[in-house]
């Protein structure tokens, strides 16, 4: 439980079904950061709300300190990507490495399910997979979990869950998968839950909602000033304090330009941020992206067409707030994929996650390495 309305309703729904429940609250971040301030992720307030809901539902609740695991498995890798000029998505890795990783490892062996307030669905299906070496058959039939989009497409969170492993997905429960956010909010009010009116949290936990991202990251990543260059003219039009301070597609506040500039490219080798005039400039669009470290949720059963010259037809999301788009995917080596979009796509950002779908079924994801035009 997080202290929010979604996990609160999840707990209530399961309690009403007479599950043997225990609530777990993850403490992932130490609010007293290196600057000595006490801002950012206000976990104390979240923990208080969890306790209030659990008291009402008569549920035991426990806080699990996962700050070390979060730091080493999520935050430090994110810092490395920011420092190299990429734009990571820590929330995706948090689900894989912490919530459905370290937390599952901490739970007792008798724990059968881990239920969360994510908007996603899971279904079981039969699948023919390569048989084990001890079997005389080439293939065997197994019952396997599928990660499916939520009924509420506006709140669907399979993008954030696209990196979790099959073994973790087997233990996952998503009670909100067939509900809409307005329905969940109405349920919370009808149940009289203490968190019914709580506002939805936004942004990265360790940054919080009351301070600027650049101010926070600057505590950990040293400044590395460089030029901001107009991609059309090649002229230097400004200065930046580090590639991590800008994201592809972001507006750049540069004085003296006749039209607002937007970030089209970042070059780690030259430490240059390239900008273009206008938010619909052709340089902001890409036809192709390379995705590395790709992992299928079913690691032994990737779509066979991905190995063919013509590739595998699928749909792709390269950021959370977007509709998935049609594309052709071809494997270029053991862990890299070449994704060719049917139509040019705007602001494809290296460092972000590319999640692959077949209809509602989320198949897996990888890290966007680069984007280009044909």
* Residues labelled as active-site residues: 94, 205
CA distance 176 to 187: 11
Give the Å distances, CA to CA, from 123 to 30, 149, 180, 223: 36, 11, 18, 47
C-alpha neighbours within 13 Å on the C-beta side of residue 373: 10
Pairing mode of beta strands 272-277, 172-173: unpaired
Q: Is residue 152 helix, strand or coil?
A: coil
End-to-end, the C-alpha distance of the chain in Å comes to 46
Q: Are strands 272-277 and 285-296 parallel, antiparallel or unpaired?
A: unpaired
C-beta pairs of 11-15 under 8 Å, 24+ apart in sequence: 11/53, 11/54, 11/57, 11/59, 11/115, 12/53, 12/57, 12/187, 12/188, 12/191, 12/193, 13/175, 13/187, 14/115, 14/173, 14/175, 15/57, 15/58, 15/59
343/357 Cα distance (integer angstroms)? 17
| Locus of tokens 């919080």 | 208
The answer to whether 46 and 2 have CB atoms below 8 angstroms apart is yes
Q: Cβ neighbours of residue 241 under 8 Å, at least 6 residues apart?
A: 214, 218, 223, 224, 225
Asked if residues 251 and 244 have their Cβ atoms less than 8 Å apart, the reply is no
């Amino acid at each position: 439980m997080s202290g929010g309305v979604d996990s609160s309703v999840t707990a209530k729904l399961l309690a009403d079904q007479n599950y043997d429940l225990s609530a777990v609250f993850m403490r992932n971040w130490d609010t007293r950061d290196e600057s000595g301030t006490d801002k950012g992720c206000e976990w104390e307030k979240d923990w208080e709300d969890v306790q209030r809901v659990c008291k009402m539902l008569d549920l035991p609740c426990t806080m699990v300190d996962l700050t070390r695991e979060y730091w080493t498995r999520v935050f430090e890798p994110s810092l490395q990507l920011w420092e190299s000029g990429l734009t990571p998505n820590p929330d995706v890795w948090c689900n894989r490495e912490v919530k459905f990783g370290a937390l599952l490892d901490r739970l007792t062996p008798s724990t059968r399910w881990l239920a969360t307030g994510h908007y996603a669905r899971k279904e079981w299906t039969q699948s023919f997979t390569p048989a084990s070496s001890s079997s005389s058959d080439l293939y065997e039939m197994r019952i396997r979990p599928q990660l499916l989009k939520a009924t509420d497409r506006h709140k669907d969170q399979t993008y954030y869950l696209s990196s979790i492993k099959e073994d973790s997905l087997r233990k996952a429960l998503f009670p909100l998968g067939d509900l809409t956010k307005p329905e969940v909010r109405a349920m919370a009010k009808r149940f009289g839950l203490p968190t019914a009116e709580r506002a939805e949290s936004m942004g990265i936990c360790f940054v919080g909602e009351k301070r600027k991202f650049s101010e926070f990251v600057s505590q950990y990543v040293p400044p590395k000033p460089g030029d901001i260059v107009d991609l059309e003219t090649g002229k230097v039009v400004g200065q930046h304090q580090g590639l991590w301070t800008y994201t592809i597609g972001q507006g750049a506040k540069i004085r003296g330009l006749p039209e607002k500039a937007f970030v089209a490219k970042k070059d780690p080798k030259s430490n240059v941020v390239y900008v273009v005039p206008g938010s619909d400039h052709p340089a902001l669009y890409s036809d192709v992206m390379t995705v590395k470290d790709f992992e299928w949720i079913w690691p032994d059963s990737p779509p066979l067409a991905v190995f063919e010259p013509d590739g595998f037809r699928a749909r792709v999301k390269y950021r959370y707030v977007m509709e998935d788009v049609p594309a052709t995917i071809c494997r270029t080596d053991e862990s890299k994929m070449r994704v060719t979009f049917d139509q040019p796509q705007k602001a494809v950002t290296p460092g972000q996650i590319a999640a692959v779908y077949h209809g509602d079924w989320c198949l897996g994801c990888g890290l966007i390495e680069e984007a280009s035009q044909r």
